[in-house]
Amino acid sequence: MAVRISIRTAHYDVEGQMAQQSTPPQWSTGKSPLRHGDVPFRAGTVALASAVVLLVFAVAWMLYTSSQEARTAFGWDLLFGSTWNPVETELNPVSFGGWPAVRGTLLSALIALIIAAPLAVAIGIYLAELCPPVLRTPLSFLVELLAAVPSVIYGVWGVFVFVPFFSSAVAEPLSATVGAIVPWFAGPIATGRGLIVTGIILALMILPTIASLTRDVLRLVPNTQREAMLAIGATRWETIWLAVIPYSRAGIIGAIMLGLGRALGETMAATMLVGNTQRISESLFAPATTAASLVANELTNSVSSLHESALISVAFALFGITLFLNFGARLLIWFVERNTRGGRS
């Protein structure tokens, strides 16, 4: 039988799940009576471990209190108001409406997700299921390496290579033809920096994250699932599509959510590529701004405590959204792992 009874042996991965194949004996779980010296040892580790918890609370508390001033003054207008004007002029009063930034963040992350999610899941499938063994290690290695490239380097590449290429090869012809009818693609293309370029670079950045997590989740699927499918005569693709993917669906969605979280919070590549303007423009080619780049650009130059507080509330919103996404994603991945362990034993 041509079934690959595979070499899927215990294998260290990102989450280190394979480490736990044998149930640990009870004495190591802290339930046994602690011997001399163990009480201070446990207290010490607990103290430093609670520093991690404290840190999260410190971040949340700081963001909450420092954004109080702006939140009481503007309320939900901080996120949905359309004018961001930190300096009072004769024509415009001071106003902090973060909608341009929120809209830019959501749109660029959405573009990134639309491009990256299907590609990354396909890469994950290829790496976990289809890839010839010779290629598997170098490709996985490459994907993990790319996840480590600093975001500022994606920004440099985007500014000097991708933006000139994209505006002459795609944006200009597209805005000259389709742009007349569809306002999303309308010109003019001034610097070439804008939401769509940001979205594409963000897609490149989150690809490795989603792909390696998807691969890890697919690897957790027990081989019995594949073997059962192959034994009743399914093709490789049917095995993947009807047995492997349904089994790990929650985990794949979790991986995509983590990718989305990274795209929403990404700062440097967005700051360098989005154009940083508070004007809302229909066109995806026009400069815009994102929440993270707004904070990075203005916080150190804030003109008043209200301005600072408004920027911190934008960061607070960003923290809240990514917290929520991470929580959901971890829950989904944890769900898959728990099920997988059940299936294995």
Partner 1 sequence: MRTFNYRRRKLVDQLMRGLSALATGCAVIPLIAIIGYVLTIGSGAMSWSFFTDVYQPPSNAPEPTADAPEVAYDPNDPFANLTVEPVGDPTGSTEDVTNVYNAAPRGGVLHGILGTLTIAGIGLLFALPIGIFAGIYLSEFRNERFATIVRFCCDVLSGSPSIVAGVTIYVLVVLQTQQFSAVAGSMALAILMIPIVTRTTEEMLKLVPETMREAARGLGAPTWYSTFTVVLPAALPGIVTGVMLAFARGAGETAPLILTVLGSNIISTDIFKPMAALPLLTYRYTESPYPGENTQAWGAAFVLMMLVLLMNILVRVATRKSGGNSR
Is residue 142 close enough to count as binding partner 1 by CB under 8 A? Answer: yes
Residue for token pair 């490795």: 208
Our measurement of the distance from residue 223's CA atom to the centroid of its chain's CA atoms, rounded to an integer in Å, reads 29
- Cα angle 100, 104, 105 (rounded to 5 degrees) comes to 120
Name which of residues 241 to 260 contact partner 1 (CB under 8 A): 241, 258
4, 8, 64, 66: which one binds partner 1 (CB under 8 A): 66
Contact at 8 Å (CB) between 326 and 258? yes
Name which of residues 301 to 320 contact partner 1 (CB under 8 A): 311-312, 315, 318-319
DSSP-assigned states of every residue in 158-176: IIIIIHHHHIIIIIHHHHH
Cis amide linkage into residue 183, ω under 30° from 0:
no
145, 180, 231, 242: which one binds partner 1 (CB under 8 A): 145
Is residue 277 close enough to count as binding partner 1 by CB under 8 A? Answer: no
Is residue 27 close enough to count as binding partner 1 by CB under 8 A? Answer: yes
Q: What is the nearest approach in angstroms of partner 1 to the Cβ of residue 267?
A: 4
Is residue 63 close enough to count as binding partner 1 by CB under 8 A? Answer: yes
Is residue 281 close enough to count as binding partner 1 by CB under 8 A? Answer: no
Residue for token pair 């728990």: 338
Is residue 160 close enough to count as binding partner 1 by CB under 8 A? Answer: yes
Q: What is the nearest approach in angstroms of partner 1 to the Cβ of residue 89?
A: 26
Nearer to partner 1, 186 or 256 (CB): 256
DSSP state letter for 33 = P
Name which of residues 282 to 301 contact partner 1 (CB under 8 A): 292, 295-296, 299-300
**Distance in Å from the first CA to the final CA of the chain:** 25
Is residue 232 close enough to count as binding partner 1 by CB under 8 A? Answer: no
Nearer to partner 1, 240 or 284 (CB): 240
101, 113, 125, 202: which one binds partner 1 (CB under 8 A): 125
Interaction pattern, residues 200-229, with partner 1; x per rule: CB under 8 A: ----x--xx--x------------------
Is residue 190 close enough to count as binding partner 1 by CB under 8 A? Answer: no
Other C-beta atoms within 10 Å of 82: how many?
13
Is residue 64 close enough to count as binding partner 1 by CB under 8 A? Answer: no
The CA distance from 99 to 103, in Å, is 6
How does 57-70 read in b/e, with b if 16+ C-beta sit within 10 Å? eeeeeebeebbebb
Residue for token pair 């993990």: 144
